């Protein structure tokens, strides 16, 4: 039996999941920044973020990359962090205050509708592991471009293919099997929706972006054990909980146990190193 994708319901569920996971995503920030730090630097380099830059951060989450961008932009620049989840954006505001950064503001907004964002004034628009989850990625890119000055840059961090991201694709595969979910249809949002060769480039080009580049960034997840990786994913990854909603509550612990067992293959003498490969996709408006 086919399941019709409902983008409105998907967004509603996504917002709810991130509302629930907001505190955990903030709490796991050191792990997240260790994991995504290299890709973040490439994203900001490609976006041309330097002193004085005005930066739009779309699907900013708890603000890890927002802080990095704000430090680059300095006191003469600014970063506007947007997200669909008020709770997770509150953590972004909180960490900005803790860091003493006064050049960050926040705005609750759907990345596919940034009408509340000033048009044509930003130097760069960035999105770290956010664009992949938009039902209409083309609309999101068009909204980013609308906010940019002519010649501004868009840069996004996305996962490559599932086979290069076993730390995540193994849990996704197990949950999909246990929840009896069909494979995602082409064009549907999801972690690997922009990972296949040529897909991200095509979406960027259709959004009117030029000089599109894709940079591969090895991004292994390094923690103490497979169990800790599963704890990280279980507490922080809203997408997995969204998929698990179709599994009986009584069976969910068994699902997590199976995931842990499968991920132990990546444990070694120095701890757990989960395979992960990110792509940084960038273009000029």
CB 194, CB 158: distance < 8 Å: yes
- Write the DSSP symbol of residue 185: P
Distances (CA, A) of 102 to 93, 94, 95, 145: 10, 11, 11, 25
Confidence of residue 238 (pLDDT cuts 50, 70, 90): confident
E strands, 75-176, where?
A: 78-83, 104-108, 122-128, 148-159
Closest CA relative to residue 48, chosen from 131, 117, 148, 186? 148
Over the stretch 16-63, which tens digit does the pLDDT of each residue have?
888 888 898 999 999 999 999 999 999 999 999 999 999 999 999 999
Each domain of the chain, given as residue ranges in start order, spans: 7-284
* Strand-pair category, 271-274 with 267-268: antiparallel
| 193-220 mean pLDDT | 97
Confidence of residue 264 (pLDDT cuts 50, 70, 90): very high
**Which residues have CB under 8 Å from 167's CB, separation 6+?**
220, 221, 229, 263, 266, 274, 275, 276
Percent of the residues in the chain that have a pLDDT greater than 70, as a whole number: 99
CB 134, CB 240: distance < 8 Å: no
Q: What is the mean pLDDT of the chain?
A: 95
The architecture in CATH of the region 7-284 reads 3-Layer(aba) Sandwich (3.40)
């Amino acid at each position: 039996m086919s399941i019709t994708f409902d983008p409105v319901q998907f967004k509603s569920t996504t917002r709810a999941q991130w509302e629930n996971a907001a505190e955990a995503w903030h709490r796991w920030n050191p792990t997240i920044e260790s994991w995504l730090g290299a890709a973040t630097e490439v994203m900001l380099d490609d976006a041309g973020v330097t002193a004085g830059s005005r930066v739009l951060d779309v699907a900013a989450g708890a603000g890890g990359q927002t802080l990095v961008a704000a430090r680059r932009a300095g006191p003469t620049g600014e970063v506007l962090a947007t997200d669909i989840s008020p709770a997770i954006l509150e953590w972004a505001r909180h960490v900005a205050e803790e860091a003493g950064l006064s050049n960050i503001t926040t705005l609750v907004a759907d990345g596919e509708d940034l009408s509340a964002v000033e048009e044509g004034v930003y130097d760069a628009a960035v999105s770290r592991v956010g664009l992949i989850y938009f039902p209409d990625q083309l609309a999101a890119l068009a909204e980013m471009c609308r906010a940019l000055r002519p010649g501004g840059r868009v840069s996004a961090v996305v996962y490559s293919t599932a086979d290069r991201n076993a730390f995540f694709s193994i849990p996704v595969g197990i949950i999909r099997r246990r929840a009896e979910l069909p494979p995602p249809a082409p064009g549907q949002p999801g972690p690997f929706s922009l990972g296949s060769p040529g897909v991200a480039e095509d979406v960027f080009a259709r959004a009117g972006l030029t000089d599109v580049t894709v940079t591969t960034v090895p991004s292994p997840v390094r923690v103490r054990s497979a169990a800790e990786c599963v704890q990280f994913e279980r507490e922080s990854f809203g997408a997995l909980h969204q998929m698990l909603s179709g599994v009986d509550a009584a069976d969910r612990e068994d699902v997590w146990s199976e995931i842990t067992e499968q991920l132990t293959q990546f444990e070694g003498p120095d701890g757990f190193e989960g395979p992960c490969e990110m792509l940084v996709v960038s273009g000029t408006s």
